[in-house]
Amino acid sequence: MSGRLAGKVAVITGGTSGIGETTVRLFVEEGARVVIVARKSGPGEALVAEIGPARAKFLPGDVGAEPTATRAIDLAEEWGGVDVLVNNAAIDWTSRIVDTSEADVRHVLQTNFIGAFLMQREAGRKMLERRRG
């Protein structure tokens, strides 16, 4: 561990698989404490158990829902506040447009766009208050 992120607190959405999980592991390896946000509890709880609760917290939830964004940033505040936000949560849209319902598109937009907005807004408010992050 080189410690480039020592003392930093990161909130990482979509942090239980793929790029998100790798990001969680790299941030912890570099000294950060992480708040992991994802929909599925099982993988999140397993990741925290592996890393340890002194370095990781897990919040199950939908980033497209305002209470999830607020709670994620509140969890970071327990460690002194969010320094880094990694907006990684996203839904991959792979179906043909002619086979896609409006509800499907709205679901993708809620997660990929509104979710990123909510997380940035909540993190940004706290970063501005502290004048860092």
Percentage of the chain lying above the pLDDT 70 cut: 98
pLDDT digits (tens, 9 = 90+) for 42-101: 999 999 999 999 999 999 999 999 999 999 999 999 999 999 999 999 999 888 999 999
| Across 13-29, average pLDDT | 98
* pLDDT value of residue 96: 93
At the topology level, CATH places domain 9-130 in Rossmann fold (3.40.50)
User: Exposed, middle or buried: residue 37 (CB in 10 Å: 0-12, 13-18, 19+)?
Assistant: buried
Residues whose CB falls within 8 Å of the CB of residue 120, separated by 6 or more in sequence, listed in order = 85, 87
Instruction: Tell me how far CA of residue 33 lies from CA of 64, 85, 94, 100, in angstroms.
Output: 23, 12, 34, 39
| Across 23-38, average pLDDT | 98
Does residue 133 register a pLDDT over 90?
A: no
d(CA 133, CA 131): 7
| Residue spans per domain, the chain | 9-130
pTM (2 decimals)? 0.94
